[in-house]
Amino acid sequence: MFRPTPAVVAALTDLGEGPAVEAALRARRPDLTDVLLRTAVAHPMLPRPLLAAAVRAAASRLGELHGGHTIEVRVPPYAAVQLGFGTGPRHTRGTPPNVVEMAPGTFLDVVTGRVAFADADVRASGAHAAEAARAFPLLT
């Protein structure tokens, strides 16, 4: 769940997403995740505040859908999320055994389906890191 901030709302409105933002803000628990992901599809080169917001929102959604402790997906400097697919060791402290790391733009490309996980510039380590591919894309 991505809670709206004035800077993100203003940036989305500047990109022409005002009606979608207003609709999301009318909800009992405002969540801009869907608006941010749709905006990432429509505008591949997001301004920095929206890039950060979209990455955090997508990481949060990824954690909600595939939460666990087997694989850590990192998107420096904005987000990290633990995924679980039922196999592999549970990460408790220190460097996790299975890590997938990618740049913010690459992460949004994979999340939105613009680029397949297998084709993306992803740094992965660990025996189960490749299982993270099952979580993508978030948008279909």
pLDDT of residue 90: 58
Instruction: Give the three-class secondary structure for 83.
Output: strand
pLDDT of residue 128: 85
Question: Rounded to an integer, what distance in angstroms lies between the CA atom of residue 9 and that of residue 3?
Answer: 10
Domains contained in the chain, CATH given: 6-135 (3.30.1050.40)
pLDDT tens track for 80-139:
888 877 555 555 566 667 899 999 999 999 999 999 999 999 999 988 888 899 999 987
Which pTM does this prediction carry?
0.87
Is the link from the previous residue into 137 a cis peptide, with omega within 30 of 0?
Answer: yes
Residue 103 amino acid letter: A
Question: Rounded to an integer, what distance in angstroms lies between the CA atom of residue 25 and that of residue 6?
Answer: 11
pLDDT of residue 74: 94
pLDDT of residue 92: 57
Residues belonging to the chain? 140
Number of H helices, E strands in the chain: 5, 4
Among the listed residues 104, 48, 112, the one whose alpha carbon sits nearest the alpha carbon of residue 77: 104
pLDDT of residue 67: 86
Phi then psi dihedrals of residue 74, to 5 deg: -115, 135
pLDDT of residue 139: 78
pLDDT tens track for 12-62:
999 999 899 999 888 888 888 999 999 999 998 999 999 999 999 999 999
